[in-house]
């Protein structure tokens, strides 16, 4: 029996992600202005669905650039395979024909897309003065992607901002699919992620999109030594699927003839080592902003709902700042420890708010004005489908408390899979204390990143794993 005897759990939580051949970030990937590609008569073009590929209707003016394996971009980068995609970009593994080194090439949708902003922010962060201000003897800048080259590509869908960076193994969410990181690795990953965020905050930036799909792990240096043939012997040929139109008509130039499915270069969570954790890299600065000079409102927040700070839901017209990162970081740390979501991704807004209240003991802590908004009647909310959901707290099943969830959904699985190890009693209390501090409903009551760094769990368990 573990630390906590759960008598109140009425249902499971921490639903596993849906199974895709190549699971990608699907919940927030589609900018709302995209529906379908259009032909010359402006009728939508539909394509047959390809599991694991990006949304093909985004191959239209204003959207993705059509890229295929073997293409040579910018007279320099030979496309080897695909690494991933989001709503704003496709990411490719390419070989730099000048240096013979591998790079990850991020190519934005056309127009004012994320890569253009990202390169500016990343350069500012890397350019800032010599030592990390986070202390702990770690230069946290190495946990941020370094921009090697930035350029534009013009194509049938417009002009696309691109940049190259070091390729990584893939994101932590993919690594974790139904697996667990060994205890020491989980501590080190959490510590390195906190240090990366501390560095960004110390330089005046909010990341704005913290979740495990944006947390990558560097590849070992031996990767660089492989030729493309050796690479394909080890990881296989690129997996491509012909793209076909539902109406059977031929392709336009806006869309590639084949979709390339993303390749996961990484290992399974249980095979991660402390060296992997040292190589953690926080990526995707497309939503990042300077807290002092830029305004970002709750309504602008694009982070998946289950990771989104509650003020963005309940006070969408208020400015977001560092505390919203702390909330998302709290959910990410939880996920690293147990590889389960603390708040389930597959639920409605309504149900997610119910979870926040139950898991965090909202009866006392949930702000009264938010509760009023949340519990308003169905009639009141029907015209405001996209604002705060309706639903009274009574007459619903309750989600388990934080302590109970940790026992049921983190420790229990760790005990089952003995190889990964479990967290001891004292450490568990320290973890829960930290998570509670990071997940305070009110942003002004939430821990700052300095307080997170000084918390008992960070000082006694997590940071020492990085030494
Ligand atoms: N340097 C890299 N090395 C390996 N894979 C990468 C790299 N950068 C990104 N990826 C992969 O591509 C995916 C999408 O990248 P990214 O989040 O930067 O795209 P995006 O369009 O900005 O996403 P979003 O829709 O979340 O804004 C990541 O989750 C990761 O799996």
Which residue's CA is minimally distant from atom 29 of ligand 1?
Answer: 213
161 and 172 in a single domain? The answer is: no
101 in any annotated domain: yes
Residues 234, 326, single domain; the answer is no
The question of ipTM being above 0.95 is answered as yes
In a domain, 90, yes or no: yes
Per-residue CA distances from 60 to 64, 156, 460 (Å):
7, 8, 52
pTM recorded for the entire structure: 0.86
What separation in Å is there between the alpha carbon of 46 and the centre of ligand 1? 25
Does some domain include residue 381?
A: no
Residues 219, 226 contacting (CB under 8 angstroms): no
Residue 412 among known ligand-binding residues:
no
CA 420 to ligand 1 centroid distance, Å: 28
Find the 211 Cα to ligand 1 centroid distance in Å.
Answer: 11
In a domain, 44, yes or no: no
If one residue of 25, 174, 261 were mutated to test the ligand 1 pocket, choosing by the most ligand atoms within 8 A of its CB, it would be: 25
8 Å CB contact between 324 and 312: yes
Can you tell me the mean pLDDT for 81-96?
95
| Number of folded domains that form the chain | 2
Average pLDDT over residues 110-134: 75
Q: Which residues line ligand 1 (CB under 6 A)?
A: 25, 28-29, 83-89, 91, 104, 106, 114, 145, 165, 167-168, 170-171, 213-214, 216, 283-284, 286
- What pLDDT is stored for residue 379 in this prediction? 52
What are the pLDDT digits (tens) for 273-328?
A: 999 999 999 999 999 999 999 999 998 888 888 899 999 988 999 999 999 999 99
Name the one residue in this structure whose structure tokens are 């390169």: 119
Q: Which of 232, 264, 296 is the last residue of a domain?
A: 264
- Of 13-22, 220-229, 277-286, 292-301, minimum mean pLDDT range: 13-22
**pLDDT, position 4:** 33
- 250 plus 287 within the same structural domain: no
Give the distance (Å) from ligand 1 centre to CA of residue 419: 30
Closest C-alpha to ligand 1, atom 10: 84
What pLDDT is attached to residue 190? 97
Per-residue pLDDT of 317-371, as tens digits, reads: 999 999 999 999 999 999 999 887 888 877 777 788 888 888 888 666 888 888 8
**Ligand 1, atom 8: closest residue by C-alpha:** 91
Last residue of a domain, one of 239, 264, 289: 264
If one residue of 32, 64, 84, 282 were mutated to test the ligand 1 pocket, choosing by the most ligand atoms within 8 A of its CB, it would be 84
Angle in degrees, CA 114, 26, 449, rounded to 5: 60
pLDDT tens for 396-432 read 677 888 999 999 888 988 888 766 788 999 999 999 9
Confidence of residue 79 (pLDDT cuts 50, 70, 90): very high
Helical packing angle, 322-338 and 425-438, nearest 10°: 150
pLDDT at 136: 58
Kindly give the distance from the C-alpha atom of residue 33 to the centroid of ligand 1, in angstroms, as a whole number.
Answer: 20
pLDDT of residue 14: 31
- Probe ligand 1: pick from 89, 146, 266, max atoms within 8 Å of CB? 89
Pair (243, 212) in one structural domain: no
Question: Quick one: 160 and 194 in the same domain?
Answer: no
- Segments forming the whole domain that contains residue 154: 50-136+145-166+220-264
Which CATH number do you get for residue 275? 1.10.510.10
**Could you identify the atom of ligand 1 that is nearest to the CA of residue 169?**
4
pLDDT at 396: 67
pLDDT exceeds cutoff 60 at 464? yes
Does 115 share its domain with 246?
A: yes
Cα-Cα-Cα-Cα torsion 438, 443, 446, 448, nearest 10 degrees, comes to 100
What's the mean pLDDT when you consider all of the chain?
83
With respect to residue 395, please indicate whether it lies within any of the assigned structural domains.
Answer: yes
Both 277 and 360 in one domain: the answer is: yes
Q: How far is the CA of 84 from the centre of ligand 1 (A)?
A: 6
Is 284:209 a contact under the CB 8 Å cutoff? yes
Question: What 3-state DSSP class applies to 123?
Answer: helix
Contacts 24+ apart (CB under 8 A), 238-244: 238/69, 238/80, 238/81, 238/82, 238/263, 239/263, 240/68, 240/69, 241/50, 241/53, 243/47, 243/48, 243/50, 243/56, 244/47, 244/48
Q: Print burial letters for 240-254: b (CB count within 10 Å at least 16), e (below 16).
A: beebebeeeeebbeb
Kindly give the distance from the C-alpha atom of residue 283 to the centroid of ligand 1, in angstroms, as a whole number: 7
Model pLDDT, residue 105: 98
What is the C-alpha radius of gyration for the chain, rounded to an integer number of angstroms? 22
Q: Among 384, 322, 310, which residue's Cα sits nearest to residue 353?
A: 310
Last residue of a domain, one of 204, 237, 264: 264
What is residue 251's predicted lDDT score, i.e. its pLDDT? 87
Residue 85: what pLDDT? Answer: 95
Q: Is residue 42 part of a domain?
A: no
- CA-based diameter of the chain, in Å? 66
Q: Specify whether 160 is located in the same domain as 306.
A: no
Q: How far is the CA of 264 from the centre of ligand 1 (A)?
A: 12
- Got the DSSP string for 274-340? HHHHHTEEE---TT-EETTT---BGGG--S-GGGS-HHHHH-TTSBP-HHHHHHHHHHHHHHHHHSS
Same domain? For 316 and 249 the reply is no
Which has more pLDDT, 18 or 156?
A: 156
Where b means 16+ CB within 10 Å and e means fewer, 324-349 reads bbbbbbbbbbbbbbbbbbbbbbebeb
| Residue nearest (by alpha carbon) to ligand 1 atom 20 | 86
Residues 272 and 260 reside in one and the same domain: no
Least confident of 194-198, 259-263, 281-285, 412-416: 412-416
- Going by the DSSP 8-state scheme, the letter that residue 429 receives in this structure is H
Residues 320 and 233 both lie in one domain: no
Ligand 1 pocket test, candidate residues 27, 284, 308, most atoms within 8 A of CB: 284
* Burial of 317 (C-beta count, 10 Å sphere; 0-12/13-18/19+): exposed
Which residues, other chains included, contact 51 with Cβ-Cβ below 8 Å and sequence gap of 6+? 20, 21
Whether 326 is covered by a domain: the verdict is yes
Residue 5, in any domain of the structure: no
**Which ligand 1 atom lies nearest to the CA of residue 283?**
18
DSSP string over 196-256: HHHHHHHTTEE----SGGGEEEEPPGGGGG--HHHHHHHH-S--EEE--BTT-PPP-TTS-
pLDDT score, position 5: 33
Of 59-73, 350-364, 437-451, give the lowest mean pLDDT range: 350-364
Same domain, 297 and 413: yes
The CATH number for 149's domain is 3.30.200.20
pLDDT tens for each residue of 367-389: 888 887 777 655 555 555 444 55
Return the ligand 1 atom nearest residue 83 CA: 5
């Amino acid at each position: 029996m573990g630390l906590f005897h759960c008598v109140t759990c009425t249902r499971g939580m921490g639903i596993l992600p849906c199974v895709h051949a190549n699971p990608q970030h699907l919940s927030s990937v589609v900018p709302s202005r995209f529906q379908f590609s259009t032909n010359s008569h402006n009728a939508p073009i539909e394509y047959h669905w390809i599991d694991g590929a990006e949304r093909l209707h985004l191959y239209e003016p204003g959207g993705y650039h059509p890229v295929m394996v073997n293409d040579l971009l910018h007279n320099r980068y030979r496309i080897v395979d695909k690494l991933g995609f989001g709503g704003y970009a496709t990411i490719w593994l390419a070989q730099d024909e000048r240096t013979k080194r591998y790079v990850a090439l991020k190519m934005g949708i056309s127009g004012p897309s994320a890569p253009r902003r990202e390169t500016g922010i990343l350069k500012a962060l890397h350019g800032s003065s010599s030592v990390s201000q986070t202390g702990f003897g770690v230069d946290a800048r190495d946990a941020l992607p370094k921009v090697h080259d930035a350029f534009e590509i013009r194509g049938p869908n417009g002009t696309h901002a691109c940049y190259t960076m070091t390729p990584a193994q893939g994101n932590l969410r993919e690594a974790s699919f139904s697996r667990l990181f060994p205890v020491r690795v989980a501590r080190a990953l959490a510590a390195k992620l906190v240090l990366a965020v501390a560095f960004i905050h110390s330089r005046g930036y909010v990341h704005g999109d913290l979740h495990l799909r944006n947390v990558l792990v560097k590849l070992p240096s031996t990767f660089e030594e492989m030729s493309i043939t050796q690479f394909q012997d080890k990881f296989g040929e690129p997996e491509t699927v012909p793209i076909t139109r539902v109406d059977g008509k031929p392709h336009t130039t806006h869309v590639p003839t084949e979709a390339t499915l993303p390749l996961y270069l990484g290992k399974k969570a249980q095979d991660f080592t402390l060296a992997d954790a040292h190589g953690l890299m926080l990526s995707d600065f497309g939503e990042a902003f300077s807290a002092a000079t830029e305004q970002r409102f709750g309504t602008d927040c694009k982070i998946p709902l289950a990771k989104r700070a509650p003020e963005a839901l309940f006070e969408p017209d208020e400015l977001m700042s560092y505390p919203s990162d702390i909330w998302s970081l709290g959910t990410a740390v939880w996920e690293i420890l147990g590889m389960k979501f603390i708040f389930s991704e597959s639920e409605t807004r309504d149900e997610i708010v119910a979870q926040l209240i139950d898991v965090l003991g909202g009866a006392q802590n949930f702000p009264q004005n938010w509760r009023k908004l949340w519990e308003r009647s169905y009639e009141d909310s029907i015209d405001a489908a996209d604002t705060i959901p309706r639903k009274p707290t009574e007459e619903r099943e309750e989600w388990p408390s934080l302590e109970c969830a940790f026992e049921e959904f983190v420790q229990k699985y760790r005990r089952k899979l003995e190889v990964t190890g479990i967290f001891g009693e004292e450490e568990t209390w320290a973890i829960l204390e930290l998570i509670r501090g990071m997940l305070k409903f009110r942003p002004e009551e939430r821990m700052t990143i300095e307080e997170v760094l000084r918390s008992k769990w960070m000082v006694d368990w997590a940071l020492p794993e990085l030494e």
